[in-house]
Amino acid sequence: MARVLHNLLLFLIRLAQKIRVLGYWSLIYGYCALCTIVALLKLWWNIILRPTTTFQWVIRETPPACLNDTSLGTHCYVRIKESGLRFHYVAAGERGKPLMLFLHGFPEFWFSWRYQLREFKSEFRVVAIDMRGYGESDLPLSTESYRFEYLVTDVKDIGYNRCCLVGHDWGGTIAWLFAIHYPEMVTKLIVLNCPHPSVFTDYALRHPSQLLKSSHFFFFQLPRFPELMLSINDFKALKALFTSRSTGIGRKGRWLTPGALTGALNYYRNVFSSLPLSQNHVRSPVLLLWGERDTFLEQEMAEACRLYIRNHFRLNIISGASHWLQQDQPDIVNTLIWTFLKEGEGRKSYRN
């Protein structure tokens, strides 16, 4: 009898787990379907009811002059042995100085760090890379190539011993994960508008408002259709991220050149299937900068990150700043970074 009850209990546990998994993926793909319907309605409205709208793709064979501005640094390439991929980066400052490594987010590339490259090259060897699938870095085609473990390994294998690591948006997620798994390589961690991965997961599951703000996560799970929606009308949807009143950069002189879309979207397409963190605490000193006008992330998550820091933690909420705060409020961002860098450890601790 005891054996029968034991087997029945195991069966019920396994059934509950399967139901939970089924419910999880049903929620994800159900939300994907809802987002697709909304996107199709918008497309139908623009093309059928507003026939003046046309499909446009603009090919720019000559890059804008600002990308070749020598004051920003030197364009370089490195091939990583582990993956065989070639990465493009822009570097400035003297070799041998402490390394400050910048990781951009979606849908950007190295240029989003232009204000920081100029600012910190006097004291650091500053390097802003094009992440896998962006800009002039290699673009693997398979979705599997953008799993978190590969993205973190890219950062590890670029070629250095230690660095001050700076990340924004998706670059912030990779920076958090890198600091968790390779703490000996991170002297200080600086993250802009990106919560600790565990904070984001826990908060999003408990707050429908954040799920709504993250609806693009679900829409981007679809193959090909997001690429179409983001690229029509000369990438109008992407430009709106940077220029609209609700989500855009608050500064004048805004500029955008989107890269290949599939690689960038593949970051999102692996987010639900990635393995959970084996351990999730950060042992490096952490500065978290947060734009008050961020419309993609709830501000409450910023303070919650404190629970996962086993070292000095500083949080600064920048009033009036958008999600793109390193471009939106570069002077304030740079000042706060300098203050953080001068706290605690001396400059010698940054040496490679």
Local confidence pLDDT in tens for the 352 residues of the chain: 677 777 777 777 777 777 766 776 676 667 667 766 776 676 666 655 555 444 444 444 456 667 778 889 999 999 998 889 999 999 999 999 999 999 999 989 999 999 999 999 999 999 999 999 999 999 998 889 999 999 999 999 988 899 999 999 999 999 999 999 999 999 999 999 999 999 998 888 788 888 778 777 877 877 887 887 777 766 777 777 676 665 556 554 333 344 468 888 888 888 776 655 556 899 999 999 999 998 889 899 999 999 999 999 999 999 999 999 999 999 999 999 999 999 865 444 444 4
Return the CATH number of the domain spanning residue range 76-208+255-343.
3.40.50.1820
Q: Give pLDDT, residue 347.
A: 43
Q: Of 119, 128, 187, 122, give the one whose Cα is nearest residue 343.
A: 187
Q: Which helix (H) or strand (E) holds 331?
A: helix 330-341
Q: What is the pTM of this model?
A: 0.80
Question: In 182-214, which ranges are continuous DSSP H helix?
Answer: 197-206, 208-213
Asked if 191 and 167 touch (Cβ cutoff 8 Å), the reply is: yes
Q: Which residues are the active-site residues?
A: 169, 268, 323
Asked if 162 and 351 touch (Cβ cutoff 8 Å), the reply is: yes
Q: Give pLDDT, residue 324.
A: 93
For the chain, the structural domain boundaries read 1-53, 76-208+255-343
**Which pair of tokens denotes residue 142?**
């398979």
**Which pair of tokens denotes residue 335?**
């000042």
What is d(CA 94, CA 92) in angstroms, rounded to the nearest whole number?
7
Count CB-CB contacts under 10 A for residue 302: 22
**Which pair of tokens denotes residue 254?**
């805004």
What is d(CA 121, CA 336) in angstroms, rounded to the nearest whole number?
16
Q: Give pLDDT, residue 217.
A: 80
